[in-house]
Amino acid sequence: MPTTTPEPALAAALGDYRSLDDARLSERIEAVRERMGRRLVILGHHYQQDGVIAHADLRGDSYQLSRSAAEREDCEAIVFCGVHFMAETADILANRPEQVAARGGRRVKVVLPDMAAGCSMADMAAIRQVEEAWADMGEVIDTDEITPVTYINSAASLKAFCGRHGGIVCTSSNARAVLEWAFARRRRVLFFPDQHLGRNTARAMGIPLEAMCVWNPHAAAAGGEPGGVSAKQLEASRVILWQGHCSVHAMFRPEHVDAVREAVPGVRVLVHPECSLEVVEKSDLAGSTSFIIRQVEAAKPGTKWAIGTELHLVKRLEAEHPEQEIRFLSPVICMCATMYRIDLAHLCWSLEHLEAGRPVNLIEVDPETARFATTALARMLTVS
């Protein structure tokens, strides 16, 4: 793992922070921010708790945040209130060799306040599984015909895999442009780890469902064919989707759309493309987190929305736009539990140890992985 773990003594001290109330924790967080000034950048992903994101210097999507922080010439440390793969991306972008050289060899420290803040979707595609799948596919089709595409919501090792194999990274905002880039070069695409973003994007481009298959990395272990895909299916596929998904967005169902339309006349349904194809097809609009925010910000007073994405973001939009009627699409509460792990106690604990020169939860991607991951990210920039 390209990370360090907390020292036992310091980890134990986290309990002392948990005994403090939110007001005191906020005071101490702001005191560190004031003392460190522009040497410190706190990044807050849109799905974070309100109390945490209130202390963020920048708020946004994972890639947008990483790139913005990396461009800050006076930044010495990044504290990423998000999940593990986001902190990895920040480390990769902020510590490219040319940047480290320009700083006289100094690296920007990247800290994740809680190392347990992971991503279930990213965990659904391990590098060993992807490498095995690539080899298995090569027994049936020519892998020189496949462009691997990884969603930004993936480990650095998968981004590096794409870099090594002529592939690319995408976000939910530029997935279509990335797939167009890929198809201009090769016949097929392997899209991981989120099958829904890949399927929704390809379908919107006019690729029929019959030209897609889903690769199950666990099929062979269960006694089935590699990937659970026949040779005939694989040969007929232009898009090979990985059997992965976002646990939050998978909660939204087509019947939720039907129910809200019946209950709220004139409602507009706005969802994230990590939702299933059936939900996206029933919605009025589908797009990235930034797209969702822009749609609400541009809407007229009185607009009625049912939004299918993470709960904290929907509730924040509801609070910020009282002139509109905003509700959560699902009757079932679904929040990003791993994002929710970062609280004021973890943020204060990590900041004070960082300022004291004893940083905890440092994220550092090894140079070889970072080099190839940067290649895949750089390709994305050519089409963004």
What's residue 10's pLDDT? Answer: 53
Domains of the chain: 8-118+339-365 (3.40.50.10800), 121-247 (3.40.50.10800), 249-328 (3.40.50.10800)
Output phi, psi for 327, to 5 deg: -140, 160
Q: Where are the alpha helices (DSSP H) in the chain?
A: 8-18, 22-36, 50-53, 62-70, 84-94, 97-102, 120-123, 127-138, 156-164, 175-183, 195-204, 231-236, 254-263, 277-282, 289-298, 311-320, 344-355, 367-381
pLDDT at 6: 47
Q: Which phi and psi angles does 107 have, rounded to 5°?
A: -90, 150
The Cα 85–Cα 87 span in angstroms is: 5
Residue 358's pLDDT is 93
Q: What is the pLDDT of residue 33?
A: 97
SS3 for 128? helix
- Give Cα separations from 322 to 47, 75, 190, 269, 301 (angstroms): 20, 36, 43, 18, 9
> Around Cβ 142, how many Cβ atoms within 10 Å?
11
pTM of the model: 0.89
Residue 38's pLDDT is 93
pLDDT of residue 162: 98
pLDDT at 65: 79
Q: What is the pLDDT of residue 260?
A: 97
pLDDT at 1: 44
Cβ contact 110:78 at 8 Å? yes
Separation of alpha carbons 63 and 76, rounded Å: 19
pLDDT of residue 166: 97
Per the rule left: phi > 0, alpha: psi between -120 and 50, beta: everything else, 42 is beta
Let me know how many helices (H) and strands (E) the chain has, helices first. Answer: 18, 13
- CA angle, residues 161, 162, 166, in degrees to nearest 5: 125
- Running along the chain, 384 residues long, what does each successive block of 10 average in pLDDT? 47 79 96 96 88 92 77 90 91 92 93 88 91 97 97 94 97 94 97 97 97 94 85 97 92 96 97 97 95 97 96 92 96 70 94 95 96 95 80
Q: How many Cβ atoms sit within 10 Å of the Cβ of residue 351? A: 25
73 close to 108: Cβ distance less than 8 angstroms = no
CB count in 10 Å sphere of residue 69: 23
